[in-house]
Amino acid sequence: GMMAVAKAPMSSARAKTALENRAVLRLPKDVDRGDVQKMLRKLAKRHPMLGAQIRSGGVEDGLEFGVTPLAVAGDGTAPLDVQAGEMMRASVAKVRLVLQVHSAIADAASMDLLVSEMKALLDGKDLQKPAPGKAVKALPGVLAYDPETVQGRSDRAFFYYTLADGAAQVPFARRTRALLPLSLGQDHGPAATLSGPCAKQTEARHMQAFAQALREVTQSTGNVLMARAARIGETLPKGPCIGPFTLQQPLLVSADPDDPTAARKLDRALTHAAKHHSFDCFAAAEEFASWFDKWQVTPLQIGFEMCAASQLKQAVSGVSHDVLLQVAKTKYRLIYDADVVAQAQADALAKAYEAALQSSDKKEVSEA
């Protein structure tokens, strides 16, 4: 799905950049580009996904392995040339190293691992034995959605039940571009962020508070369709491994805090979604296209992610949603499309989200 968006004709440059994970490292003065190339060669042997490229031609695109990422001279500002098969780049400018890795081969948690291992190599430390390369290379095929299999039919049935109550668009007044079907790509403007503290709550409560805030700020009603990001930890082989192991699944979230039926349904969906790790927003866009057209929604307009604290510190290269809420324990970060969401509206959204969480806390205390 991400590869299709990266190559889609109507995907904007900023939307394509949003599909990259980036990190900046400071190099010791005695380390040059040749030394970085040696590290990349070693890391690519440990993690075959770093040597993956898009294979074009035939029935559909896929990944092929065995390409060693290159260390190049530069500042790392230019986006990856996915059309030419470039999925990773290491740019060296004096003592500054900029790593760019496409999300189709490495997610944010994988980026943290890559940075950690590169720092260990720079410090002369030994690395832990990685996950078997053969098992890692097989994962994209294992995780692919196939509607003709027993698992595929189970996946579709689960999300049919999960989405059947219907959703409504979150109408941001500043939107000047249409919400594109995912098959045509994504069109986004510059990313902006704001962060703050939040009450420690369950994932479901965070999602419900976010839905309440979205409806309050946009003065709209209805269930909110969210792209919920989650890592497929139980499926991964043992040992450190790098890959696209975070998927975004479509979930309906009620904006009504007093609807116990909707709350129970969301809890159930969150509990069982991991069993359906092959079905993501891109599969949903095909399977439930008529629903989404009727509701005037797209599964990637609103994003939500419970993540590690380190991910809140990662640089933001772009935005793949109108609004994405990331939560790490008692901190959160809103990443939003500045062309669609005004700063004042983002501020109001953050305040409404915090207030909804506090209200949820008070409600639980009173019920107890």
Residue 300 contacts residue 281 (beta carbons within 8 Å): yes
* pTM confidence score: 0.88
pLDDT of residue 59: 37
Q: In which residue ranges of the chain is pLDDT below 50?
A: 58-60, 368
Residue 91 contacts residue 19 (beta carbons within 8 Å): no
pLDDT of residue 173: 86
Give me the amino acid identity at 363: K
Tens digit of each residue's pLDDT (9 = 90 or more) over 85-131: 888 999 999 999 999 999 889 999 999 999 999 999 999 999 999 99
Determine how many CB atoms are found less than 10 A away from the CB of residue 149.
12
pLDDT of residue 80: 87
pLDDT of residue 368: 47
Based on its alpha-carbon atoms, the radius of gyration of the chain, rounded to whole angstroms, reads: 21
Q: What is the DSSP letter of 201?
A: -
Q: How far apart are CA 280 and CA 2, in angstroms?
A: 11
What are the DSSP calls for 13-74, one per residue?
HHHHHTTEEEEEEEPPTT--HHHHHHHHHHHHHH-GGGG-EEE-SSSS-EEE--PPP-EEES
Residue 276 contacts residue 201 (beta carbons within 8 Å): no
pLDDT of residue 174: 84
Residue indicated by tokens 């390369």: 133
**How many residues make up the chain in this entry?**
368
Three-class SS state of 305: strand
Q: How far apart are CA 148 and CA 153, in angstroms?
A: 7
Give me the amino acid identity at 8: A
Give me the amino acid identity at 270: L
